Amino acid sequence: MTGSPGHGMTLAEKVLARASGEERVVPGQIVDGRVDLAMMHEQGAQTVAPFHQMGAERVWDPDRVVIAIDHWVPAPTEGAAVLHRILRKFAAETGLPHFYDVGNHGICHQILAENGWVVPGDLAVGTDSHTNTLGAMGAVAAGIGPTEMAAVLALGSLWLKVPSTVQVRVRGSFGPGVTAKDLVLRVLGEIRTTGATYKSVEFTGPTIASLSMPERLTICNMTTEMGAKCGMVAPDDKTYEYLRGTAKHAMHPLWADADAVYERVVDVNVDEMPPMVACPYSPDNVRPLPEVAREHVKVDQVFLGSCTNARIEDLREGAALMKGHKVAPGVRFIVSPASTRIYEQCLKEGIIETFTEAGAVFTNSSCSACFGGNMGLLAPDEVCASSSNRNFPGRMGAKQARIYLMSPAATVAAAIAGEVTDHRPML
């Protein structure tokens, strides 16, 4: 549907209109959206009590619910073991078949992506703030709280406020060693951590069209750090190809109207753009990597992992750079793949060997060091170069630790050099 001039709908508005059965929706409107996919991880254990308190006995559609254990795998504490047990029991009692448990696990967003659980036009919700990642499929994918999830499990719907949309138009070509991660860091430096609060961030333009699906997942992932309700890329042939053979339900692709109304438009030209790095203590404290490299920031730990950048493409890129090098003395280098399937690919391709021979530790798939809860915690005043998405105080352990966010290749270069460094001469 196309409205009168200047009154068309954005991509998020189109999806929420479809989900709520409305012909047209506008920002600020409250809609009751039918949910296409609900995802829970350990946080989902907190939905079980409210689900029963509401008097719910069965899940609205067990085939539309995915549970993925990912933050503490295998359980490192008694508390984590209890969360896992609550979820296993709930899944057994309510007949939820799509449970990704230890041994067939992965970071929840990667599990959804690689198994085709979210498709174009979907309204998807998850008990994790980085559910935005799945907006790369042309879906509205958003994080919600455990009580909201309990209602979704019972009813299959959720009321939402229609967000206004920030359009990010990107043109130009990346230079050697510059990636989608550098692009999203640059955009974050401009929009800031509160600049898109409860808004949709819609990425458009020729550069976005040229991005692979893993790269689109990376840029949508970090709209969470902008405060966004969702981050989106319109579906195209790459989306359909990525989902070919894995899509779990019918696609209903939608696109923004030509006369869609955006709250704000941010134009970015990536020609000549250097690699970027987010410095402590905020993901929007973004500077050009070469500038930071000149300060010779020594690192104690390097982390290549997280829902932002631990897909097979990221690990291949990192391994290619690592080949023939060693991890610098005094540096701990942790590599954590985003899913068990990616772990298996790394095993087949010799990627695990490349990293471990260089002196890195290659872990099973999990959120790992990213959130400071499972492994790889930092002591006070330690410094970490990380491919993850957050560097707030206390994110990876001690509040006084410092985290620098960068692309996978830049993290590997930091592991080799023992300091934050421009990786491009190593390529």
- Tens-of-pLDDT digits for all 427 residues of the chain? 334 456 899 999 999 999 999 999 999 999 999 999 999 999 999 999 999 999 999 999 999 999 999 999 999 999 999 999 999 999 999 999 999 999 999 999 999 999 999 999 999 999 999 999 999 999 999 999 999 999 999 999 999 999 999 999 999 999 999 999 999 999 999 999 999 999 999 999 999 999 999 999 999 999 999 999 999 999 999 999 999 999 999 999 999 999 999 999 999 999 999 999 999 999 999 999 999 999 999 999 999 999 999 999 999 999 999 999 999 999 999 999 999 999 999 999 999 999 999 999 999 999 999 998 889 999 999 999 999 999 999 999 999 999 999 999 999 999 999 999 999 999 9
Task: Report the side by side order of strands in the sheet with 65-68.
Answer: 99-100, 65-68, 37-40, 123-126, 140-143
Look at residue 4 in the predicted model and tell me its pLDDT: 45
Q: Name the CATH code of domain 277-426 (choices 3.30.499.10, 3.30.1490.20, 3.20.20.60, 3.40.50.2300).
A: 3.30.499.10
Q: Where are the domains of the chain?
A: 11-267, 277-426
CB–CB of 228/194 below 8 Å?
A: no
Look at residue 7 in the predicted model and tell me its pLDDT: 83
How far apart (Å, rounded) are the C-alpha atoms in residues 276 and 19?
A: 37
Look at residue 423 in the predicted model and tell me its pLDDT: 98
Do the domains at 11-267 and 277-426 have one common CATH topology? Answer: yes
Is 57 in a helix, a strand, or coil? Answer: coil
CB–CB of 140/252 below 8 Å?
A: no
The pairing of beta strand 30-34 with beta strand 157-161: antiparallel
How far apart (Å, rounded) are the C-alpha atoms in residues 182 and 170?
A: 13
pTM: 0.96
In 97-225, the DSSP E strands lie at 99-100, 123-126, 140-143, 157-161, 165-171, 200-204
How far apart (Å, rounded) are the C-alpha atoms in residues 186 and 274?
A: 10
Residue-by-residue DSSP string for 329-393: TT-EEEE--SBHHHHHHHHHHTHHHHHHHTT-EEPPSSSGGGGTSSS-PBPTT-EEEESSS---T
The arrangement of secondary structure in 11-267, i.e. its CATH architecture, is 2-Layer Sandwich (3.30)
CA angle 184, 220, 281 (to 5 degrees): 50
| Residue 367 in tokens | 């959120």
Give me the amino acid identity at 341: R
Q: How many C-beta atoms surround the C-beta of residue 191 within 10 A? A: 22
What lies within 8 Å, CB to CB, of 78 at 6+ separation is none
